[in-house]
């Protein structure tokens, strides 16, 4: 290789390295500048643990901010001390130093100082631990049950909130603002963990146990969360959202959840969809009030078909914004953004509008009905169903025709 060729290659290499560096660093500089300008700008990730939106998460935040600060200062002191020592005592030809073995008084002092700092931290920690474990001031109870890979919310009868019959929902936890909600968590299969960072830390949902988690939101809004205990194949897809509504809006939501079933009109596509639903879906999915052609109630039997013994209750499906364990949106992107980005005084109304025909996310819903395991991994190998007595773990492939899917979508949109 001649010198010239080498130079060319070198400059090409340098140029390409520059491009890569520019790609990496320009956004770094830009976003760094932006964030410096607007430090409290709410564009952080929706699961940001440093933006508390309720008293429980604020309690944690007030505790951790000083701890982070102290830790940062100590880290800085150590780094500076090490670098200073490195510069000051680098080998400049000085003689081999005296072989001193230490100064006990200094040692003891330097042991006691961190011990004291930690003692102070622990006092505040203890206070927070016990405050966060309180259950006697609860105003509302919601039972939360995890299973692979979605959460079920079960609102027991609570007349104060107009809940006169149990409400069973999934995907989104709907709760009133300014109310001390106590989640009673358990699991039907493996360990999951319930976590809405803006409202509180996480608490594992352990099968065979009932554990509690306090939640309270200060303002109406939608708060994102994610299952945070590894729970198998689709752990990454087990999401949740907490929807905090004003007390009036919450009452409206409750009323809608308790509204009776409205069967689709005769000779509509939706009516045909109801038939498909009765043939295919009712094996696992309950729709309250749905009856068979002979007038008998259609009772789902997920315990016979699904390992965890449960499948989401689809009554009032279109009052939710998500499906498939909150992995997919029922709302199209545009409509969803309108709800998510709404200010706290209108978010309730927008949420209660539910999913309209124009807003329905047809693409993901159809893909789901077409072949659910393809879009959400549910069992590594269908042949392994043998170990679970032939029961499914998650929604199976149903081999529905496109025609059936059209009918089903038409039906599902009626479940307001």
Does residue number 13 form part of the binding site for other proteins (CB under 8 A)?
Answer: no
Site for other proteins in 69-88 (CB under 8 A): 71-72, 74-75, 78-79, 81-82, 85-86
User: Among 2, 5, 94, 334, which residue interacts with other proteins (rule: CB under 8 A)?
Assistant: 94
Phi, psi at 193, each rounded to 5°? -140, 130
Instruction: Return the range that interacts with other proteins (CB under 8 A); candidates 98-106, 167-175, 283-291, 313-321.
Output: 98-106
Beta carbon of residue 256, minimum distance to other proteins (angstroms, whole number):
26
Tokens, residue 160: 């104060």
State which residue, 32 or 297, has the beta carbon closest to other proteins. Answer: 32
- Residue with Cβ nearer other proteins (110 or 157): 110
Q: How far apart are CA 265 and CA 272, in angstroms?
A: 10
Assign residue 148 a region: left if phi > 0, alpha if psi is -120 to 50, beta otherwise? Answer: beta
d(CA 223, CA 45): 11
Which of residues 100, 159, 296, 334 is near other proteins by CB under 8 A?
Answer: 100
Measure the CA–CA gap between 284 and 301, rounded to whole angstroms.
5
The CA distances from residue 215 to 170, 218, 270, 287, 403, in Å, are 17, 10, 39, 28, 44
Q: How far is the CB of 276 from other proteins (least distance, A)?
A: 29
Beta carbons of 349 and 248 less than 8 angstroms apart: no
Span 29-68, contacts to other proteins by CB under 8 A: 31-32, 34-35, 41, 43-50, 57, 59-60, 63-64, 67-68
Among 7, 107, 304, 345, binds other proteins (CB under 8 A): 107
Of 172, 234, 257, 272, the one binding other proteins by CB under 8 A: 234
- DSSP symbol at 320: S
Minimum distance from CB of 12 to other proteins (Å)?
20
DSSP 264: P
- By the 8 A CB rule, do 339 and 327 touch? no
Sign of CA dihedral 183, 340, 314, 369: negative
137-156 residues near other proteins, rule: CB under 8 A: 148
Q: Is 89 in the site for other proteins (CB under 8 A)?
A: yes
Residues sharing a CB contact under 8 Å with residue 75, sequence separation 6 or more, in sequence order: none
Of residues 226, 286, 288, 361, which one binds other proteins by CB under 8 A?
Answer: 226
- Residues linked to residue 207 through DSSP beta bridges, in sequence order: 187
Quick one: which segment of 122-130, 244-252, 282-290, 364-372 binds other proteins (CB under 8 A)? 122-130
Judged by CB, which is closer to other proteins: 172, or 272? 172
124 CB neighbour count, 10 Å cutoff: 13
- Minimum distance between the CB of residue 170 and other proteins, rounded to whole angstroms? 18
User: Cα-flanking dihedrals φ and ψ of residue 297, to 5°?
Assistant: -65, 140
Binding mask 370-389 for other proteins (x = CB under 8 A): -------x--xx--x--xx-
- Report the alpha-carbon distance of residue 324 to residue 239 in Å, rounded: 9
**111 forms part of the interface with other proteins (CB under 8 A):** yes
Residue 99 interacting with other proteins (CB under 8 A)? yes
CA diameter of the chain: 102
Three-state secondary structure call for residue 169 = strand
415 in Cβ contact with 316 (< 8 Å): yes
Shorter beta-carbon distance to other proteins: residue 130 or 334: 130
Residue 227 CB neighbours (<10 A): 27
Of residues 290-349, those binding other proteins (CB under 8 A): 307
233 binding other proteins? (CB under 8 A): yes
Closer residue to other proteins (CB): 181 or 190: 190
Return the structure tokens found at 147. 């299973």
Kindly state the number of chain residues that form the binding site for other proteins, as judged by CB under 8 A.
101
Q: Which of residues 162-221 bind other proteins (CB under 8 A)?
A: 189-191, 193, 195, 197, 200-204, 206-209, 211
- Residue written as token pair 């090490």: 82
Rounded CA separation 323/312 (Å): 9
Min dist CB 285 to other proteins, Å, is: 22
Residue 122 corresponds to which tokens in the numbers above? 């622990």
Query: With binding defined as CB under 8 A, does residue 406 bind other proteins?
Result: no
Q: Which is nearer to other proteins, 67 or 301 (CB)?
A: 67
Taking CB under 8 A as the rule, does residue 17 contact other proteins? no
């Amino acid at each position: 290789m001649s010198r010239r060729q080498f130079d060319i290659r070198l400059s090409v290499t340098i140029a390409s390295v520059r491009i890569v560096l520019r790609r990496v660093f320009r956004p770094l500089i830009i976003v760094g500048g932006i964030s410096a300008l607007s430090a409290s700008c709410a564009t952080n990730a929706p699961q940001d643990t440093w933006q508390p939106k309720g008293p429980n998460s604020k309690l944690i935040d007030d505790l951790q901010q000083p701890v982070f600060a102290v830790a940062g200062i100590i880290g800085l002191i150590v780094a500076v001390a090490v670098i200073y020592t490195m510069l000051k005592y680098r080998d400049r030809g000085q003689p081999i130093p005296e072989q001193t073995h230490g100064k006990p008084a200094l040692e003891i002092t330097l042991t006691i100082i961190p011990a004291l700092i930690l003692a102070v931290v622990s006092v505040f920690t203890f206070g927070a631990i016990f405050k966060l474990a309180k259950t006697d001031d609860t105003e509302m109870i919601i039972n939360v049950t995890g299973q692979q890979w979605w959460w079920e919310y079960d609102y027991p009868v609570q007349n104060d909130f107009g809940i006169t019959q149990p409400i069973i929902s999934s995907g989104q936890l709907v709760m009133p603002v300014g109310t001390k909600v106590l989640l009673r968590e358990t699991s039907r299969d493996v360990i999951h963990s319930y976590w809405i960072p803006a409202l509180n830390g996480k608490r594992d949902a352990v099968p065979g146990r009932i554990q509690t988690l306090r939640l309270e939101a200060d303002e109406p809004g939608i708060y994102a969360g994610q299952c945070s205990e590894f729970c198998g194949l689709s752990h990454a897809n087990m999401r949740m959202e907490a929807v905090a509504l004003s007390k009036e809006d919450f009452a409206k939501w409750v009323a809608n959840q308790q509204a009776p079933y409205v069967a689709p009109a005769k000779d509509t596509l939706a009516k045909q969809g109801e038939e498909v639903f009765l043939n295919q879906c009712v094996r696992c999915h309950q729709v309250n009030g749905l009856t068979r052609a002979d007038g008998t109630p259609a009772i789902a039997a997920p315990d016979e078909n699904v390992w965890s013994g449960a499948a989401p209750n689809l009554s009032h499906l279109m009052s939710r914004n998500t499906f498939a364990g909150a992995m997919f949106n029922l709302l199209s992107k545009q409509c969803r953004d309108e709800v998510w980005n709404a200010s706290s005084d209108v978010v309730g109304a927008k949420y209660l509008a539910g999913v309209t025909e124009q807003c329905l996310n047809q693409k993901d819903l159809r893909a789901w009905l077409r072949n659910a395991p393809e879009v959400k991994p549910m069992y590594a190998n269908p042949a392994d169903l043998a170990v679970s007595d032939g029961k499914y773990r998650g929604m199976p492939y149903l081999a529905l025709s496109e025609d059936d899917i059209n009918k089903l979508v038409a039906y599902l949109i009626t479940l307001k």
